[in-house]
Structure 1
Amino acid sequence: MVRHSVAIYVNRKSYILTAVAPQKLVIASRESRLAMWQAEHVRDRLAALYPDCVIEILGMTTRGDQILDRALSKVGGKGLFVKELEVAMADGAADLAVHSLKDVPMDLPDGFALAAVLEREDPRDAFVSNDYASLDTLPHGAVVGTSSLRRQALISARFPHLVIKPLRGNLDTRLRKLDEGEYAAIILAAAGLKRLGLPQRIRAYLEPEQSLPAAGQGAMAIEIPGNRAELAAWLAPLNHQATAQAVHAERTVSKAFGGSCQIPLAAFAVVDGDNMHLRAMVATPDGTRVAHTEITGEAKQGIALALKAAEALSAQDAEGILAVCKAQAQE
């Protein structure tokens, strides 16, 4: 029996856990090209840690992948992308699931936990177009595609002369719709394009000052059954402390306001050494009402900073803004 020791870092202190090295691990993943890239990345990282372990990927199609004719906010939200993967773990068909963190609901179902957050890729939004260099160059009435109410609100606030239309499907499907002329431009997460080796499709980056990222954007997370302590120990070396601190703060802000894709909400934290700078925003889908705040403090106090940010948004009538969002979502 081979035992493997891993170091876990909590609040800058190192703890050594010793666990029997895994013999086999099954990773549940959506079957889109980007999702499979992410699962393969985790597989390769684990294979380097545990060379004698057999690691397999279980590809699955989720309900979120199947419903492409309606906005995600209208058909059940982010949980549509993870439910089938959680069922596979609960049934013992898979040990862990790899997600884009921005697709993970703020409240996990009972019996599941996030075991690791990997180092973040580029968190920015990306402007993609075959004919135009940036949002500023789009003519009046140009159609911009996005699946995100957050992006819709931010673009509408700055460029009310543009037409925003829903854009669903995996990354390749979205690019194909652009290439077929359905949109003058589309807005995507830069991280996905970079991970798939498509940075050349990015015509311009939208800096956080222009388009504040969604909570968890650019980060990958590993979900496991909550009762698998040995699995948590095996995955601990993949956790990136600074990224984890940042995204947990972001998700705390989102959770304070319901954590739903029916809400145009952004939260973005940057950890620099011992410090964290957190920005958050909530808006109506048309961008006519926006509440925004930013706060700086100790990174280890990220959750407290997030709660202060939520209070600051509430002081700007965030609840009133959210009431408008919910009413529009029911129309």
Structure 2
Amino acid sequence: MRAGMRVGTASVRRRAQLLALEPTLSIEPMRGNIDTRLRKRGERGLDAIVLAACGLDRLNLGAEIGHRFDPDEMVPEAGQGALALQVRAGETHLVGAADHGETRRRVEAERACVAVIGGGCLAPIAAHHDGVRLTALVAAEDGSWIERRSGDDPGEVAAALMPFVSA
């Protein structure tokens, strides 16, 4: 990120982390589906927009991605990139064929951590499990501070962040 860039995002979590990386960014709220956001990027003359890469990849729009943030650089939302399957009652056998146990365990750890902290989609709280460790963060919406903690136990990681939640 370059100083003074105009960046669009709908996420307070992304906003906080972007401003922590580069405090001079001008963050502009942006809502809508992916096509709408890509169109608004041009219409508003934004330097960049921040979207979930997994969504762009699934729509074969990977060429639109100028930079993929590493989770150490920007911690994603709990469950980011994971898909859920909803089936009719009596057809739960379909779930077993689609379940990826390792992904489910990672997402469950991420969501458990965020649930203990008390965060939702409107809070600058994030969690990511890379298969080895869980990393979570809480941040000020303006990016003036960010606290990250990592560990094996979602409850312990969340407990370490709790003192910062009301800061």
Is the TM-score greater than 0.5? yes
Distance 1:232 1:306 in 2: 28
Segments of 5+ residues of structure 2 without an aligned counterpart are none
In the other structure, the counterpart of 1:68 is none
Deviations 1:86-144 (A, max 9, x none): xxxxxxxxxxxxxxxxxxxxxxxxxxxxxxxxxxxxxxxxxxxxxxxxx1xx342x211
- Does the 8 Å contact 2:11/2:122 carry over to 1? no
| Residues 313 and 139 of structure 1: CA distance in aligned 2, closer, same or farther (over 3 Å) | closer
Q: CA deviation at 1:234?
A: 2.2
Q: Secondary structure at the match of 1:191?
A: helix
The one of 152, 177, 184 aligned to 2:15: 152
Deviation at 1:145, TM superposition (A): 0.4
- SS of residue matched to 1:231: coil
Secondary structure in structure 2 of the residue aligned to 1:266: strand
2-structure distance, mates of 1:294, 1:182: 38
Matched, 1:318 2:154: no
Cα distance between partner residues in 1 of 2:57 and 2:108 = 23
Q: Distance in 2 between matches of 1:208 and 1:252?
A: 18
Which is further off, 257-266 or 155-164? 257-266
**What is the aligned-residue RMSD (CA, Å)?**
1.5
User: 1:222 aligns to what SS in structure 2?
Assistant: coil
- Other-structure match for 1:235: 95
| Structure 2 partner of 1:288 | 144
Tell me whether 1:278 sits opposite 2:124 in the alignment.
Answer: no
1:179 positional shift: 2.1
Superposition deviation, residue 165 in structure 1? 1.1
**Partner AA of 1:213 in structure 2:** P
TM-score (norm 1): 0.48
Match of 1:183 among 33, 42, 46: 46
Deviation at 1:253, TM superposition (A): 1.0
Instruction: Report deviation, 1:262.
Output: 2.0
Alignment-derived partner of residue 246 in structure 1:
106
- Kindly state the Cα deviation for residue 308 of structure 1 after the two structures are TM-superposed: 1.1
Q: In the alignment, is residue 197 of structure 1 matched against residue 60 of structure 2? A: yes
Extract structure 1 runs of 4+ deviating beyond 4 A. Answer: none
Q: Distance in 2 between matches of 1:162 and 1:291?
A: 20
* Aligned equivalents of 1:259, 1:231: Cα separation in 2: 32
Distance 2:64 2:36 in 1: 14
Question: TM-score normalised to the size of structure 2?
Answer: 0.93
CA distance in structure 2 between the aligned counterparts of 1:231 and 1:318, rounded to whole angstroms: 43
2:113 and 2:127 in contact (8 A); partners too: yes
Offset of residue 224 of structure 1: 4.7
For the residue of structure 2 that corresponds to 1:281, the secondary structure is strand
Amino acid at match of 1:217: Q
Q: Does 1:219 align with 2:111?
A: no
**1:312 counterpart letter in structure 2:** A
SS in 2 for 1:261: coil
Q: Is 2:128 the counterpart of 1:268?
A: yes
Amino acid paired to 1:208: P
Q: Displacement of 1:190 after TM fit?
A: 0.6
What does residue 25 of structure 1 align with? none
**3-state SS of the aligned residue for 1:312?**
helix
| Matched letter for residue 155 of structure 2 | L
Write the mapping of 1:83-122 to structure 2, written as runs, cut at 5 A. Answer: none
In structure 1, the partner of 2:157 is: 309
The structure with the largest alpha-carbon Rg is: 1
Percent identity, aligned pairs only, is 37
